[in-house]
Structure 1
Amino acid sequence: MNPRPQVRRHALLTLALVAGNILTVAHAQTTASGGAQAWPARPVKIIVNFPPGGAADHLARVIGQPLQDALGQPVVIENRGGAGGNIGGDAVAKAPADGYTLLMSSGGMVSVNPHLYERMPFDPAKDIRPVAAVARVLVYLVTKPDLPAKNVQEFISYLKANPGKLSFGSPGNGSSPHLAAEMLKAQTSAFAVHVPYRGGGPALQDLLGGRFDFWFDPGVGLQHVRSGRLKLLAVGSMRRSPLFPDTPTLNEAGLKGFDADTYFGLYAPAGTPTEVVTRVNREVNRILATPAIRERITAIGGEPSPMSPSDFGSRASIDSIRFGALIKARNIKPD
């Protein structure tokens, strides 16, 4: 009997056992060190679906650095504005669902755009998933300083007495500042000309330049209210802002039920692993609890709003009902 086949089989078996032991040791070392493939293993990108200078951009940058510190990987902010947030939203919806691409958006992309656009390049209800709410963004009725109205009652009277002579800006059709102005027009039976922009930053600059008369500021222009370059008359929320406790809400001024608040936060492509979503949600909620971050969000007129992914999604569903009714009643169309 030829012993060589048996020797060869024994050698192959020994090699297989050695290789298996090497792999087992390597796996144990990887597991012990936290996992070579553990998320995140490379930079995480946050796409902001509005231009620089707006509320979404500010909030992304407020949480970007502390989130980077928490994750141990660079967090890169990239602005992709346009189409009411649809361009950036579509980019994230079509990105790999691996946790390395997130979206910072207003709730309007989910709760408003499906009512506004006959056809969207993606389905917000199916193609992205809520991850973490960051802030409830209030809107503030702000005018240029030389508008002849010292308070909200005088402003409404002046607006109604001058139909079509006043103009208001917004970050774009269907944005929360635009919808707030449409609520105002509907409840006062007044008419003003809408001037849509591609983001809150450009709109603010033109208001400062006197190119239109008023707008509902999502917080980006409050520094100019404090300096006297702009005039604050009211808050478009159901409760007063802690920043301006003496400024009434429009609800208090007689526009009952006036509420134009929206929630901004992070989303991910559908199919992103739940453990990644849970991790980001936990880190963001922890970040929002820190005094320094709360102070920065409050300074731009927002309110930190930690919540679970499911609660964040439910909030968007509630907003979709009320904003959808307004869009239909006012026959609002996209740009």
Structure 2
Amino acid sequence: MTLSRRGALAALATSALWQAPAFASEWPSRPIRLVWPFATGGLGANLTRVLGDGLSQRLGQPVVIDPKPGAGGVLGFQYTKQATPDGYTIMLGTNSTSTLLPSMQKNLPFDPIKDFEHIGMAYTSGNVIVVRADSDIKSLKDLRDKAKANPGKLTYGSAGNGSTYHLMPALFDQLNGTQMLHVPYRGGSPAYLGLLSGEVDVVFGDLSALPQVQAGKMRALGVTSRQRVPAAPDIPTTAELGMPDLRMESFYGLFAPKGTPKAIIDRLSTEMAAVLATPTVQRQLETLSTQAAPDTSPAYFVKRIREEAARWKPVIDKAGITIE
């Protein structure tokens, strides 16, 4: 290589180093796209809107919610992976896609760790086990005993094959030596309707069931989070009920395309934490039966993705749950 060519390459490298901070300092100068990898409506879409509104106020630019539903979140993750890494496309992803799907689906077109920058975990939400209010199943022990006495006959409704509504009862069966019958629906709301209509006996679902519990139409047997849920403090945890390993907490976090400048990732992480700390957002989260994450740092987010993926893989493998 000639001296002049080495000099030109060095000049280009130096230019790039100077331009990156300048680019990051000018960001954002136009609207930001916030991808939600599922359909509109429901808890996750509402949480996306809460975060988008807060970031918009703090960053001084519109944050436009862009739903990209399909294939259990895969299409939204793919879209974000392929977006230009300039800080103008970010995504609120869920643990169902980032920690569970890699163990269920072969040839997944993304790696949740390697293909993204991780801005931070935003929210956590408990899950709840419910039966109809008139059910003779009045406790988690009753559910276990009835499932043992009636192998293959007690039914549970899920939000679809491979959903958290499916994996929690699969874990319940493995822990208790029971065999309940899976009845998949096309979403969480249809599963709850199936429970209320008597099509299924139990649903291991999310906290959107709480209004039905409070209205006296469903009975909550327990929550699967580490602590009791602030929105329903009278419902005991599965650990309190003698099943500490029957645990699942849904979580949501912000992803960006790989290569997004670190200065922008750091700014987004800081602003997200500030949004979640505001009294207005805290009140909104309480209404949605959700909490801000205990740690919003990128490092904690990556750690939780790795830990939950490792914890659920043997459960998924043993249950033989796959998604084509």
For normalisation by structure 1, the TM-score amounts to: 0.82
Could you tell me how far apart the structure 2 residues matched to 1:229 and 1:130 are? 40
CA change 1:55–1:326 in 2 (3 A) is: farther
Q: 1:110-165: per-residue Cα shift (whole Å, max 9, x none)?
A: 22221111111222222222112111221111123332222222232223333333
For residue 56 of structure 1, report the CA deviation from its aligned partner: 2.2
Aligned length: 302
Alignment of 1:1-335 (within 5 A): 38-305=26-293, 306-334=295-323
For residue 204 of structure 1, report the CA deviation from its aligned partner: 3.8
Could you tell me how far apart the structure 2 residues matched to 1:199 and 1:100 are? 30
Q: 1:37-84: per-residue Cα shift (whole Å, max 9, x none)?
A: 822222212211122334322211222211211122222222222322
Could you tell me how far apart the structure 1 residues matched to 2:118 and 2:26 are? 22
Letter in 1 for 2:311: R
Aligned residue in 2 for 1:30: none
Q: 1:9-56: per-residue Cα shift (whole Å, max 9, x none)?
A: xxxxxxxxxxxxxxxxxxxxxxxxx99982222221221112233432
For residue 169 of structure 1, report the CA deviation from its aligned partner: 2.6
Aligned residue in 2 for 1:9: none
Could you tell me how far apart the structure 1 residues matched to 2:218 and 2:236 are? 17
Could you tell me how far apart the structure 1 residues matched to 2:124 and 2:137 are? 28
Could you tell me how far apart the structure 1 residues matched to 2:321 and 2:187 are? 18
- Structure 2 unaligned regions, length at least 5: 1-21
Letter in 2 for 1:159: A
Letter in 1 for 2:96: G
Letter in 2 for 1:333: T
CA contact (8 A) 1:298 1:304 kept: no
CA change 1:160–1:296 in 2 (3 A) is: farther
Could you tell me how far apart the structure 2 residues matched to 1:207 and 1:104 are? 30
CA change 1:58–1:195 in 2 (3 A) is: farther
Q: 1:151-202: per-residue Cα shift (whole Å, max 9, x none)?
A: 2222322233333333223333333332211111111222222233444344
CA contact (8 A) 1:238 1:257 kept: no
Q: Which has the larger radius of gyration?
A: 1
- Structure 1 unaligned regions, length at least 5: 1-33
CA contact (8 A) 2:223 2:237 kept: yes
Could you tell me how far apart the structure 1 residues matched to 2:39 and 2:190 are? 9
Could you tell me how far apart the structure 1 residues matched to 2:134 and 2:281 are? 35
Could you tell me how far apart the structure 1 residues matched to 2:212 and 2:41 are? 14
Letter in 1 for 2:268: V
CA change 1:268–1:189 in 2 (3 A) is: same
For normalisation by structure 2, the TM-score amounts to: 0.85
Higher alpha-carbon deviation: 290-299 or 57-66: 290-299
Q: 1:84-107: per-residue Cα shift (whole Å, max 9, x none)?
A: 211111111111111121111212
Could you tell me how far apart the structure 1 residues matched to 2:310 and 2:112 are? 15
Aligned residues with identical type, % of pairs = 34
CA change 1:158–1:324 in 2 (3 A) is: same
Which segments of structure 1 move beyond 6 Å, counting only runs of 4 or more?
Answer: 34-37
Aligned-pair RMSD on alpha carbons?
2.3
Could you tell me how far apart the structure 2 residues matched to 1:71 and 1:171 are? 36
CA contact (8 A) 1:56 1:105 kept: no
